[in-house]
């Protein structure tokens, strides 16, 4: 009985997400009300607040779902073209995402820069998700991350995914500082520089950052 109730609850939640997705793409999130969403989903307005605190909370959940589904497709495609080097596989993943967002600009406008870290942070720190467990196993074999703590590795992945997410939005939607075709080589160069070397190179970069921070602190004094 409990499982049946859980399934019904999840079905209603998914109906709200699906309705919101359609409306956000049609009108934009700003021009869509909670009432519009519940009417499209065919549920009472009060039902919305059983699953989401407000429209912003629903948008966050929707961005997460879009990102997760897209990452799953990208990883499946990468598996069919897997290379020995982690950095090459990472470039493939990012390139898949870039190509998708170039085709689906309306989706990119919807999630804006929200693809990446909320997704990465929650899933990579858990052990019960098959997709991100597989991604983490791949990352743990990367020479640049060998011997580093999980937190250290997550900080590097955070920087890379935030860079890619922000660059996609800025270059594809805004054309800044250049078009995506001009920015892809830059992103891929940075990914390789970060992931293709031994852990010592990353430690050197961190040491340089620490030195710069110490210099800034000295100047402030």
For 14-65, what is each residue's pLDDT tens digit?
999 999 999 999 998 899 999 999 999 999 999 999 999 999 999 988 988 8
Determine the Cα–Cα distance for residues 173 and 179; give it in Å rounded to an integer.
9
On whether the CB atoms of residues 118 and 64 are closer than 8 A, the answer is yes
Q: What is the dihedral of CA 46, 66, 196, 128, to 10 degrees?
A: 60
Structure tokens at 91: 């470039």
Does a structural domain hold residue 219?
no
Average pLDDT over residues 162-166: 88
Res 145: pLDDT: 85
The residue behind tokens 């596989």 is 89
Residue 206 has pLDDT above 70, yes or no: no
Q: What is the mean pLDDT of residues 92-116?
A: 87
In this structure, is residue 220 part of a structural domain?
Answer: no
Which pLDDT score, from 0 to 100, does residue 36 have? 97
Six-digit token string for 148? 């580093």
The answer to whether residues 149 and 72 belong to one domain is yes
Q: Is the pLDDT of residue 116 over 70?
A: no
Share of the chain above pLDDT 90, in %: 51
Q: Same domain, yes or no, for 68 and 42?
A: no
Domain of residue 4: give its range. 1-52
Q: CATH number for the domain including 106?
A: 1.10.357
Please report the pLDDT score of residue 136 as a whole number.
Answer: 82
* 120 has pLDDT over 80: no
Residues 33 and 66 placed together within one structural domain of the fold:
no
Same domain, 30 and 98: no
On whether residue 35 sits in a domain, the answer given is yes
Question: Which element (helix H / strand E) includes 100?
Answer: helix 86-103
Is 46 in the same domain as 111? Answer: no
Which range, 51-65, 128-142, 199-213, has the best average confidence (pLDDT)? 51-65
Pair (76, 46) in one structural domain: no
Task: Identify whether residues 157 and 98 lie together within a single domain.
Answer: yes
**Inside any domain, residue 5:** yes
| 45 and 102 assigned to the same domain | no
């Amino acid at each position: 009985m409990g499982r049946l109730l859980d399934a019904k609850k999840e079905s209603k939640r998914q109906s709200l997400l699906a309705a919101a997705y359609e409306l956000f793409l049609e009108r934009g999130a700003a021009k869509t009300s909670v009432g519009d969403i519940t009417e499209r989903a065919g549920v009472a307005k009060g039902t919305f607040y059983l699953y989401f605190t407000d429209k912003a909370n629903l948008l966050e959940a929707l961005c997460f779902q879009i990102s997760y589904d897209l990452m799953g497709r990208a990883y499946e495609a990468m598996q069919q073209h897997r290379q020995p080097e982690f950095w090459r596989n990472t470039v493939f993943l990012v390139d898949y995402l870039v190509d998708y967002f170039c085709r689906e600009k309306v989706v990119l406008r919807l999630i804006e820069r929200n693809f990446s870290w909320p997704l990465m942070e929650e899933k990579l720190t858990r052990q019960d998700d098959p997709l991100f467990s597989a991604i983490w196993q791949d990352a743990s074999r990367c020479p640049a991350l060998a011997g580093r703590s999980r937190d250290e590795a997550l900080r590097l992945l955070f920087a890379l995914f935030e860079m890619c997410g922000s660059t996609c939005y800025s270059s594809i939607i805004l054309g800044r500082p250049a078009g995506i075709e001009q920015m892809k080589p830059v992103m891929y160069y940075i990914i390789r520089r970060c992931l293709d070397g031994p852990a010592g190179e990353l430690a050197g970069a961190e040491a340089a950052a620490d030195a710069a921070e110490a210099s800034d602190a000295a100047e402030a004094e």
